[in-house]
């Protein structure tokens, strides 16, 4: 493979057990906090802990938020469409795992 065909992949390992604030999610996904609030109200994201001043999300919410944003952008889905698409994708994954367990 020539040097011009090689591309470096950059990534970071993220612990899904970490708790994130709405500010963390907003910053990590480069989206306004209001958008995160809309995801919560539509059921795309679940708040794990809630205090009078702050919401906390599981680390898995980062992956889910990024997926939701890609669905909005790439497929031009509205919030309800994003919620439905994610629900169907998760159901498909559950069924695949169940099928693998029976084989």
What predicted TM-score, i.e. pTM, was given to this entire model?
0.78
Taking only the tens place, the pLDDT of each residue in 4-61 is 567 765 555 556 678 999 999 999 999 999 999 999 999 999 999 988 889 999 989 9
What is the model's pLDDT at position 12? 54
Q: Which residues contact 12 (CB under 8 A, 6 or more apart)?
A: none
- pLDDT at site 52: 82
* pLDDT given at position 53: 86
List strands edge to edge, sheet with 49-50: 19-21, 55-58, 49-50
Domains, the chain, ranges and CATH?
16-102 (1.10.1660.10)
Residue 23 to residue 12: CA distance in whole angstroms: 19
- Give the pLDDT of residue 31: 97
Segment 49-75 mean pLDDT? 93
């Amino acid at each position: 493979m020539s040097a011009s065909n090689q591309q470096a992949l950059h990534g970071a390992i993220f612990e899904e057990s970490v708790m994130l604030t709405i500010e963390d999610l907003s910053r990590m996904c480069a989206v306004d906090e209001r958008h995160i609030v809309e995801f919560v109200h539509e059921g795309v994201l679940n708040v794990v802990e809630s205090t009078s001043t702050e919401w906390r999300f599981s680390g898995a919410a980062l992956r889910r938020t990024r997926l939701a944003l890609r669905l909005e952008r790439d497929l031009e889905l509205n919030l309800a469409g994003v919620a439905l698409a994610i629900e169907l994708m998760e159901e498909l994954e559950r069924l695949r795992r169940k099928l693998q367990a029976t084989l």
